[in-house]
Amino acid sequence: MFAFIVKRLISGVVVVALVSMAIFVLFWYGPSSPAQPICDRETSNRCTPERLEVYERTLGYQNPVWKEYGKFVKGVFVGREITIGATTYQCDAPCLGYSFRTKQPVTEEMIERMPATFSVAIGGAFLYLLLGVPIGVAAARRRGSLADKALVSSFLFISSVPYYLFALLMWLYLTVKFEIPFFAETGYFPFTDNPAKWFSGLFLAWLALGIFGCTQYTRFTRGAMVEALSEDYIRTAKAKGLPPRTVVYRHGLRAALVPIVTIFGIDFGTLLAGTIFTERIFDIQGIGWWGLQAVYGRDLPVVSATALFSAVVLIISNLIVDVIYSILDPRVRLS
């Protein structure tokens, strides 16, 4: 197990290195000079070729790409100095660059954004499971009944609506139209400042993510449970004289949990990497919101940092899924 984790971490580092390289190279050879956005911004859209040349030179865009990538990597580990136009900034390790817009270290900004995104992700994912799994189990137990059919088709309806529309409608109705006080002020408020406000500010976002996401988990759980409940070992469990609850949960759900945990790990990773629609609609200033702003502002260091961040989060969540998988299924030996 330990050797497996080490091996996976090493391969994860390799993947992150490749992703960072790809991002770096893609921006480097993009349609416009990578210095164009900062030049436009600093000169209020009056970027002359001469000015552009200054930015390109100070940002190192005239050097070979591998040399600059080397500088970037060095910055991640030991920090470096970054010169934008006439000003030089000291960027401490782990340095991911300086934001073109705010002139703040990207790493610091990212760390600032994380609690909001993590709050959204944890709450949303919690609701996925809390709603999706029990409903799915209940549907599987009553498979073929009217309630099951109604549930399956209504959930199909919800999940066929685009998520951004679903979330937007929730916000429009609950916050704007009906003015429900609890949902009045969405957004992220630090938990340490005011837990109640933190909760009410995020609750609508959790609800949107949870209701929308749980449809998928309900379908998935239902399918996995129907399959598990038709296995021979369920018949054995019944033949032992176990009560139905034990048969369904300890024997059935325990087996159905393995595929559920697998997709949950990936979904949770995706949520942690930033929920752009959710954060944008409910005005939660997390990683997704931050990345979106950076795209609008052509803030290259921030955009590449968010891309790198999602890669790291997904690799870690994949690794965790594999470890949990081996704990859940004793037949899986990690090597």
Partner 1 sequence: MTTAQTSATGTPSLRGEPILVVEDLSVTFPTEDGPITAVQDLTYTVEMGKTLGIVGESGSGKSVSSLAVLGLHDAKSSRITGSIRVGGTEVVGLSESQMRKLRGNRVSMIFQDALAALHPFYKIGGQLAEAYLVHHPDASKRDARRKAIEMLDRVGIPQPDRRVDDYPHQFSGGMRQRAMIAMGLINDPSLLIADEPTTALDVTVQAQILDLLQDLQREFDSAVIIITHDLGVIAEMADDVLVMYAGRCVEYGTTKEILTHPEMPYSWGLLSSIPDVSNETGGRLIPIPGNPPSLLSPPSGCAFHPRCAHRDKVPGDLCTEKLPQLTPASSGTAHIKRCHLANPDQVFRTEVLPMIAPDLAEEIR
User: Could you list the residues that contact partner 1 (CB under 8 A)?
Assistant: 231-233, 235-244, 246, 251, 254-255, 328-331
| Closest distance of CB 221 from partner 1, Å | 17
Smallest gap from Cβ 225 to partner 1, in A, equals: 15
Contact between residue 224 and residue 256 where contact means Cβ atoms under 8 Å apart: yes
H/E run at residue 14: helix 2-28
Minimum CB separation of residue 239 from partner 1 in Å reads 5
Q: Where do we find the tokens 């799915």?
A: 136
Nearer to partner 1, 260 or 302 (CB): 260
- CB distance 198 to 191 below 8 Å: yes
Smallest gap from residue 326 Cβ to partner 1 (A): 12
* Class of residue 109 by CB neighbours under 10 A (exposed 0-12, middle 13-18, buried 19+): buried
Question: Which one, 149 or 177, has the nearer CB to partner 1?
Answer: 149
Q: How far is the CB of 143 from partner 1 (least distance, A)?
A: 11
Nearest distance in Å: CB 228, partner 1: 10
C-alpha–C-alpha distance, residues 160 and 203, integer Å? 23
CB of 333 to partner 1, least distance (A): 10
Largest CA-CA distance found in the chain, in angstroms, rounded: 85
CB-nearer residue toward partner 1: 7 or 240: 240
Is residue 83 within a helix (H) or strand (E), and if so which, with residue range? strand 80-84
**How many degrees, rounded to 5, is the angle at CA 316 between CA 312 and CA 27?**
15
What minimum distance in Å lies between the beta carbon of 224 and partner 1? 14
The rounded distance, in Å, linking the Cα atoms of 28 and 59 is 12
Which amino acid, residue 234?
A: I
Single-letter amino acid, residue 113 = R
87 three-class SS: strand
One-letter identity of residue 102: T
Nearest residue (CB) to partner 1, 117 versus 221: 221
Angle at 78 between CA 72 and CA 80, to 5 degrees: 55
**158 vs 258 by CB, closer to partner 1:** 258
Give the nearest distance from C-beta 151 to partner 1 in angstroms: 18
**CB closer to partner 1, 46 vs 331:** 331
The count of C-alpha atoms lying within 13 angstroms of the C-alpha of 306, restricted to the half-sphere facing its C-beta, is: 27
Q: Which is nearer to partner 1, 68 or 231 (CB)?
A: 231
Give the integer Cα–Cα distance in Å for 97 and 302. 8
Beta carbon nearer to partner 1, 51 or 238: 238
CB 273 within 8 A of CB 314: yes
Cβ-based nearer residue to partner 1, 181 or 241: 241
